[in-house]
Amino acid sequence: MINVAILGAGIGAQHLDALERLSDTFRVSAVVDKDTARIEEIRGVSGFRAVSDIQDVLDDPTIDLIDICLPPHLHVPITLAALAAGKHVVCEKPLATSMREVQQIIDASEKARRHVFPVFQYRWGPSLAQLRHLQSSGLTGAVQTAALETHWSRGADYYAVPWRGTWAGERGGAVLGHAIHNHDLLTHIAGEVASLSAMTTTRVNPIETEDCATICFQMASGALCTSNITLGAAKDETRLRIVFEHLTATSGTEPYAPGQPPWSFVARNPEDQAKIDAALASCAPEPVGFEGFFTDLGKALQTEPNAAVSLAEGAASVGLVTAIYHAARTGQRVDLPIKPDHPLYEGWQP
């Protein structure tokens, strides 16, 4: 049994829900929030301790895993403190806000011999399992192009939470906070990004950070892909279209769990459709979102070290954000990975 302390009772409520459904593997021992009334709001039947001080769970030798669902500026200091206390760590996005910080986390994780799992729960769901199955069965061929849409709606109520929309608290806008999931999916499906160019702007709300962006990616494979982002859409929709050599995969518009049906998988050569449909029918379903994420995290801690999202993949996501902000500010095309001599290696805060 893996004993967990969840830090933060906002999105932490959804982590709690998933962990409680996986009660053969995890036990939520404590939920920490300085606003303890918020903890009671998310308590279901669970018998966890409600705690107001993070140090309390870091000092508790019975806790194995610290699950960080705090505002972004706390992610790095609490990750480092949890590793120093000998805990494994789950960290909500963004893992960090500079490549320097990412390196600190990698060093601390190696020193403590404890894992850090960045949260990218959008990877889990039955349709993305089908896509992976088609890829590994050789039925897709190479990615030719992909078009990603993160078209969500955020207004004054969303920005009423003081840390949001600010460089000091949120550390970035729609690129960092919202499209980071789609960009992780892009690399999950199409491999590493070799270079990118980008434009960002603030057009929807009176905030410091960006709320619209357009990005062009050249993948290491040579494929060219795009990401289009706004927080001023009529409603929240996420859509992915991936054109492979042998088929075109198109998601539905479910905003927060794009791995859910309906997806379409259409063969370029109609004669191949039957094979594709047979492969789709033979694919085992998998749990969606946080439940899938924590299922594989449990395997990673117990039997299959490579089952979960890795620290290297979290590092790559911070590298992408660094490159996007640099490309948008300079107009230059930026190569990946970000190296220590890059001008934004220490961070992208203006």
* Residue 93 vs 143, nearer CB to ligand NAD: 93
Alpha carbons 64 and 211: distance in angstroms, whole number: 37
CB of 131 to ligand NAD, least distance (A): 20
**116-118 vs 88-91, strand pairing mode:** parallel
Provide the Cα torsion 93, 229, 209, 201; round to 10°.
160
**CB atoms near residue 103 (< 10 Å):** 14
- Residue whose CB is less far from ligand NAD, 122 or 265: 122
Nearer to ligand NAD, 8 or 259 (CB): 8
Closest approach, Cβ 110 to ligand NAD, in A, equals 24
For residue 246, report the phi and psi dihedrals to the nearest 5 degrees.
-110, -10
Q: Shortest distance, CB of residue 145 to ligand NAD, whole angstroms?
A: 26
Min dist CB 228 to ligand NAD, Å, is: 19
| Closest CB 35 distance from ligand NAD, rounded Å | 4
Q: What share of the chain is helix, strand, coil (3-state, %, to 5)?
A: 35, 25, 40
C-beta of 103: minimal distance to ligand NAD in Å? 20
Cβ closer to ligand NAD: 92 or 254? 92
Contact 3, 64 (CB under 8 A): yes
Residue nearest to ligand NAD (CB): 10
**What residue ranges bind ligand NAD (CB under 6 A)?**
8-11, 32-35, 38, 54, 69-72, 74, 92-93, 119, 121, 161, 177
Cβ neighbors of 102 (< 8 A, separation 6 or more) are 95, 96, 314, 315, 318, 319
What does the block give as tokens for 155? 């207004």
Distances (CA, A) of 168 to 20, 164, 323, 350: 34, 9, 19, 10
Nearer to ligand NAD, 163 or 345 (CB): 163
Quick one: 127 or 144, whose CB is closer to ligand NAD? 127
